[in-house]
Structure 1
């Protein structure tokens, strides 16, 4: 498959080409599961050298391919956000070892798969439109990866220097990178362990950047989670993990000069704690209301640390809520308690925790007049596929390639 010459900006698809791309997708959508199986089968058969880039368990990977493809098609008539999305994909794929030579192979097998399941609907015009769409997306990804290569490494090696169990399946793990790791408080980091070398998971540092190049993560062992369980129960000081580039826009820079309302559930307190630590390092001229929630009082992870911070910082107010235990104080879900202490219409909001909690809290804040642009949270599932693209006229999906 040919690609535009280096330096040439991708040309947007015409309205007719956009319609053909979407029509082609509509035809194959009923066969999506079979199509993705076929795609990877012929990709690995024709280009066995790319197999090592993918995890052994391909079930999740096939779903990621489909959702990534759907989002590209959704943005095919929105060039600005298509470039943003493909730029994120291109940068992120560096950590997997993706090379420019892999893109033509993927395009060839993708078009062959679409042709097989579209049948008679796969006309020369539809094929040409899909070729243009893929070429555009692939070129943006390659250019983004090339630019990123000039700015920073694809990954950072980090040695575990401290590993402490905090109860309820949570470990506090501190790592040190060989070279400074360039992140901002509130961002999240993809991490790979030596025990699952093709599996990446996202975790948020619980601290603002430090001079000694250490980062602390609060990681909960998820039932069936091979990466989280290895980090909590197997990892030890001296082990080496790998970090991908920092991602996310949930930083203090996004808040302007408004007062803040922060909502944290479980280990979702980590990025909120990093934001507050960053705020304490500066000249804080606004107030912060922090709500920490859990099912029971014993599970109010990190609350004592936040209460101690509130004693030192006059601008910080901390409240806790439990939803499954009768205790003195606030009882109820975190979103319910949040609503009691409003209104929040003039605040900037930062949310982190289980997806259901984040969704409910965001709904309450919007109902109280907080614009969606002032409600900040990380993507609720796989970040690269669902990172909000602003400004955008498309609603992002709630779930990553």
Structure 2
């Protein structure tokens, strides 16, 4: 597709999501069209659709941004298609969704931008989306989901838990990926969690979960999960990984439980003899938010290629968490006070690094802005959309 045509589609989608209510309106238009025109599809989705609508708009935006990177786009679409198999979605459902997507785009794009030429271009783009996904789902020979048993549940903070599981059979993920999970306490409510350890033949996996005040599932994950619970885990997603052959050093930036996918990669790298120099900035509001700092310090003390820089907005823990501050081991980086993105950007442009960011959407946005303002090329930076 020509660059001009891609730019028109991207401009159209930007206009759809430009207002605070735009993403919600777009997702609602899509699901309304899908359910009204294709019988039997509503039952594939949970009753509560708020998170589903948010993820849908995010995924479409990510795919539209990737139109100039066909290989990256197709890899993303293939992963999404395989992940949707757990809902009972079949290849023909993707084609029905394509029609509903075109209806939603037409309905939500401002009239001043909508033309016959733009409609043809969108139809071509959506056809590529749906056919790629339909083929990927039809050709996938892996299970639609895996069963797993909770073997450990540790509350490391009042609102944060480390959950360990053993899967019935090993899941073929790579360090840095995430998966959707369904727990018995919240049936039909899938949530995405990043693996915090590398894959292993025993099928052991670990997730780090923080309770979100508005979340339907995170509270159950932190407070209600018990050893022996049976989970369902969807196929691996995401593309965060270190390119060992690029010759570039690595910059990792994590806040909160966003540490998990970066931690898994660092643990896997520690099993190798040679690695690129890697600098991890690990941030939180308070020192106690850096819940896994001691693990990272232990790895750094025996792996000279790894540098850990703790960053907190406050130097003391809050009154409700009166835990003594950790003493930094001799020779390691002392904590820095400040906002994570600004602290990282203050070290320079990082233009010669491969960069990964993991954390909340707001943290990713502010860190991207700080790095870009400091001269870091956007194409050097990777993060996952969901």
CA distance in 2, matches of 1:259, 1:130: 39
Q: What does residue 45 of structure 2 align with?
A: 54
Distance 1:177 1:297, change over 3 A: same
Distance 1:334 1:66, change over 3 A: closer
Deviation at 1:335, TM superposition (A): 2.5
Q: Which has the larger radius of gyration?
A: 1
Deviation at 1:334, TM superposition (A): 2.0
CA distance in 2, matches of 1:212, 1:230: 26
Q: What does residue 319 of structure 1 align with?
A: 309
Structure 2 residue runs of 5 or longer lacking an equivalent are 317-324, 326-333
CA deviation string 1:151-182 (max 9, x = no partner): x2221111111111101411100111111111
Matched, 1:91 2:82: yes
1:338 pairs, out of 323, 340, 344, with 344
1:189 pairs, out of 179, 182, 192, with 179
Q: What does residue 300 of structure 1 align with?
A: 290
Structure 1 residue runs of 5 or longer lacking an equivalent are 1-11, 383-401
CA deviation string 1:81-126 (max 9, x = no partner): 76555434423322221013434554566677889999x9999999
Distance 1:141 1:336, change over 3 A: closer
Deviation at 1:355, TM superposition (A): 3.0
Moved more, 318-327 or 65-74: 65-74
CA deviation string 1:272-309 (max 9, x = no partner): 21111111100124332222221112222211111122
Q: What does residue 146 of structure 1 align with?
A: 138
Moved more, 129-138 or 174-183: 129-138
CA distance in 2, matches of 1:344, 1:110: 38
User: Once superposed, what is the RMSD of the aligned Cα atoms?
Assistant: 4.2
TM-score by length of 2: 0.76
CA distance in 2, matches of 1:246, 1:351: 18
CA deviation string 1:25-60 (max 9, x = no partner): 999x99987786576456546655322211102344
CA distance in 2, matches of 1:234, 1:299: 21
Tell me, yes or no, if the aligned pair for 2:185 and 2:224 is still in contact at 8 Å. Answer: no
CA distance in 2, matches of 1:188, 1:359: 20
1:372 pairs, out of 353, 375, 378, with 378
Q: What does residue 362 of structure 1 align with?
A: 368
CA distance in 1, matches of 2:223, 2:70: 46
Deviation at 1:237, TM superposition (A): 1.2
Distance 1:49 1:265, change over 3 A: same
Moved more, 180-189 or 54-63: 54-63
Distance 1:254 1:246, change over 3 A: farther
CA distance in 1, matches of 2:179, 2:8: 37
Tell me, yes or no, if the aligned pair for 1:259 and 1:288 is still in contact at 8 Å. Answer: yes
CA distance in 1, matches of 2:260, 2:107: 47
CA deviation string 1:245-290 (max 9, x = no partner): 1122211236723332222211122122111111110012433222
Q: What does residue 255 of structure 2 align with?
A: 265
Distance 1:281 1:196, change over 3 A: same
Tell me, yes or no, if the aligned pair for 1:169 and 1:232 is still in contact at 8 Å. Answer: yes
TM-score by length of 1: 0.74
Q: What does residue 175 of structure 1 align with?
A: 165
Deviation at 1:197, TM superposition (A): 3.0
Q: What does residue 156 of structure 1 align with?
A: 146
1:351 pairs, out of 357, 363, 386, with 357
Moved more, 87-96 or 206-215: 87-96
Moved more, 297-306 or 155-164: 297-306
